[in-house]
Amino acid sequence: MTNPEQTMRPLVDRLNEASQAYYFGEEPIMSDKDWDALYDQLSALELNTGVVLPDSPTHRVGGKPMSAFQEHTHVSRLWSMDKVQSIEALEDWIRRTEKLADGAALTYFVEYKFDGLTLNLTYDNGQLIQAATRGNGVTGEAILPQARTIRTVPLTIPYKGFLEVQGECIMRLSTLEKYNQTAKEPLKNARNAAAGAIRNLDPTVTAERRLDAYFYQVGTIRERSFASQPEMLDFLRENGFPVSEYLGRPQTREELIACIREIETARPTLDYLIDGVLVKVGDFSLREQMGYTDRFPRWAVAYKFEAEETTTTLKDVTWELGRTGKLTPLAHVEPVDFYGVTVRKATLNNYGDILRKRVAIGAEVWIRRSNDVIPEIMGRVGEPSEGEAEIIRPAFCPACGSALVERGAHIFCTNREGCRPQAIARMTHFVSRDAMDVEGLSEKTLTQLYDQMNVRDCADLYGITLEQALSLEGFKQRKAEKLLAALERARTALWTHSCMPSAFRM
């Protein structure tokens, strides 16, 4: 009888190789169908023989729930980071560092400071043998089955010596959004979602959250050493560990500050949370010379950004009409200083969103900075209390009083022409650059046309006479003629595209 391990080994290797290529964005080496077939074959073998190789991809889906977390003592301590929150404080840190370097040339390295949960992974003989949370830096909790579900945590590595690697476990914002679309109770925050998933005793829950990880530090390595930060990062990359997508190497203080500004600007466009920038001295012999305080290394500092989330009180919800007649809730919140501006309004997507997030008037809520102009309400802080008022779903249009209809997740006013704000919004869109690009028709002018000349929809716009145009506020002969010419051009364009005005009647 053949040894089951001998049968499984090529299957496991082939599957891991294919996943690696997939998760690191390389050329796919196997179709999904082939992958599934091999995976099923491996699962069946494991079930029949009771043998599961330590790097089997079946670990990725999580195993049996655990009853409790075991304590794990890190071989090398995980240090905290010295923190600064202003450029002035950073400059003070640079001066101190220069003094400690005692005239030696300093090269700084800059990378993202991920906002997730710290992981410490242990490898021996090329196998992931343990994973732990940071804990107090000396001891953490053992979370090997949970860490194995993270696809960007390598289960095997080419390096065969003993190794401890530190990184940050995160949940991508796109993953969080996708998860929340079907989740019974939406997760408010990617950081808490990642931390909660890792610290869940049931690894299948961890697997469902589809976490990711980035690595930045070799804590312990026995059979080799590194001279510099780039050498260490190269080693991490060669062994399949993802590292920060941003790696700056500023030559001067000015360049260092420019790096920080650059990251701060890019921050809202990233698919994960970062809460700052890490600045590290690159030369490892200098690091040794500088040493540690009792809490943190003297050769690194975290430049912390302002929080991307804050809390405030929800004061009111109004319903705003769009050009399609869709009513969207707009949250009015207790003014709060956030990201350098005073926030008074926040987004809630629809009535279902309000129910799922369990928010109410008077409730304390989390708001999160989003790429839109106004932040989004993520959920409530704490449990409902007395004095809160339910947010009522409107039955009639706040603008025209028509009965509202429900379509999917949204509510609509179907009074297309008689509902002033939606008719004006529709015409404003129609003449905008994104659509017909008619110059000379501002929202203000369209409002005047609606109120005084009975212009109700886009087709009516074509009926405007020169006399009517001349009576519009701010319109003289030349401007009025230009407007009529622009409308005529738009009409011709419509016909050439054999596109009736009704095509715009959404």
Interacting residue ranges for Zn ion, rule: CB under 5 A: 397, 399-400, 402, 413, 415, 419
The residue (of 236 and 397) whose beta carbon lies closer to Zn ion is 397
Query: What phi, psi does 378 have (nearest 5°)?
Result: -95, -25
CA distance 288 to 39: 47
Residues 6 or more apart whose Cβ sits within 8 Å of residue 183: none
Query: What phi, psi does 296 have (nearest 5°)?
Result: -145, 160
Q: How far is the CB of 410 from Zn ion (least distance, A)?
A: 14
CA distance 44 to 3: 15
The residue (of 81 and 327) whose beta carbon lies closer to Zn ion is 327
The residue (of 186 and 329) whose beta carbon lies closer to Zn ion is 329
Nearest to 237 by CA among 158, 299, 179: 158
Q: How far is the CB of 364 from Zn ion (least distance, A)?
A: 33
The residue (of 370 and 402) whose beta carbon lies closer to Zn ion is 402
Nearest to 170 by CA among 138, 135, 215, 201: 215
Q: How far is the CB of 422 from Zn ion (least distance, A)?
A: 6
The single residue of 33, 99, 113, 345 carrying the catalytic annotation is 113
CA distances, 371 to each of 269, 327, 352 (Å): 7, 21, 22
Query: What phi, psi does 476 have (nearest 5°)?
Result: -110, 180
Instruction: Say if residues 335 and 344 touch (Cβ distance below 8 Å).
Output: yes
Residues 6 or more apart whose Cβ sits within 8 Å of residue 418: 400, 402, 456
Per DSSP, 251 falls in state S
Q: How far is the CB of 351 from Zn ion (least distance, A)?
A: 17
In 3-state terms, what secondary structure has residue 63? coil
The DSSP secondary structure of 417-450, one letter per residue, reads TT-HHHHHHHHHHHHSTTTT--TT--HHHHHHHH
Q: How far is the CB of 420 from Zn ion (least distance, A)?
A: 8
Q: How far is the CB of 327 from Zn ion (least distance, A)?
A: 8
Amino acid at 357: K
**Own/partner pairs, 412-418, CB within 8 angstroms, 24+ separation:** 412/324, 412/325, 412/326, 412/327, 413/321, 413/325, 413/327, 414/325, 415/325, 416/325, 416/457, 416/505, 417/456, 417/457, 418/456
Q: How far is the CB of 414 from Zn ion (least distance, A)?
A: 8
160 is catalytic: no
Catalytic residues: 113
